[in-house]
């Protein structure tokens, strides 16, 4: 929390103290300022501790390698039949663990799972189309941004994720069904193409 935010909080406290038209001494405001500073220091210490955890550093590394260095689409391109997409989704578990067990937020966990499933659905599109689209869908970076927003108490991110929690849960169910449909379609299509190739010989 920066000084400007602390002073804003102090002004709010001062306004509350003065609502009844009573006179308050500087000592009252100094006490409130000290209390607010102590709260800000505790929050900063907690944030620093959370960001120095091995699981957080693992998320930062995962986001870098999977999205910024394009390991996610490369795995999908190299490994056949959705194996690459399944393997890359395993790297998302630190994000789920951190949001559920460290941040302890169900809405954040739902948002993280939703981003992962969306990434799996895109990657499951056959004929390498999904792998090409996967280059532009950076779910690991997005999940890291959401988790970091919660750690840094970013009101905009927190409010946005909390407001969408119910619909995120609904969309997770829809995405699971779509993933099943796309994979089933890809398998049947692959079988048809293989049978056609075999029939040529």
pLDDT of residue 94: 94
What pLDDT does 101 receive? 95
- What local confidence, expressed as pLDDT, does residue 35 receive? 77
* pLDDT confidence tier of residue 19, bands split at 50, 70 and 90: low
Instruction: Report helix angle 139-151 to 106-123, nearest 10.
Output: 170
Give the residue, 36 or 199, on which the prediction is more confident: 199
Separation between Cα atoms, residue 116 and residue 86, nearest integer Å: 11
165 and 99 in contact (C-beta within 8 Å)? Answer: no
SS3 15: helix
pLDDT (average), residues 86-106: 91
Out of 19-23, 51-55, 71-75, 77-81, which region has the weakest mean confidence (pLDDT)?
19-23
Q: What does the pLDDT read at residue 95?
A: 96
Q: With pLDDT > 90 as the criterion, what percentage of the chain qualifies? A: 39
Mean pLDDT of 96-106: 95
C-beta separation of 75 from 87 below 8 A:
yes
Q: What is the pTM of this model?
A: 0.74
């Amino acid at each position: 929390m920066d000084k400007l935010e602390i002073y804003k909080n102090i002004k709010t406290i001062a306004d509350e103290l003065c609502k009844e038209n009573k006179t308050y001494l500087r000592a009252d405001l100094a006490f409130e300022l000290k209390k607010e500073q102590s709260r800000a220091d505790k929050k900063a210490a907690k944030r620093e501790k959370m960001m120095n955890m091995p699981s957080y550093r693992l998320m930062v590394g995962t986001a870098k390698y999977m999205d910024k260095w394009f390991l996610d689409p490369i795995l999908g391109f190299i490994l056949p039949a959705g194996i690459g997409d399944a393997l890359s989704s395993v790297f998302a578990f630190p994000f789920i663990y951190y949001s559920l067990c460290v941040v302890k937020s169900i809405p954040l966990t739902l948002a993280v799972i939703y981003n992962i499933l969306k990434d799996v659905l895109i990657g499951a599109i056959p004929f390498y189309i999904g792998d090409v689209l996967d280059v532009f869908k950076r779910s690991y970076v997005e999940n890291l941004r959401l988790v970091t927003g919660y750690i840094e108490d970013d009101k905009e991110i927190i409010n946005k994720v909390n407001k969408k929690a119910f619909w995120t849960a609904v969309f997770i169910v829809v995405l699971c069904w779509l993933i099943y449909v796309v994979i089933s379609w890809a398998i049947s299509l692959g079988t048809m193409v293989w049978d056609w190739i075999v029939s040529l010989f």
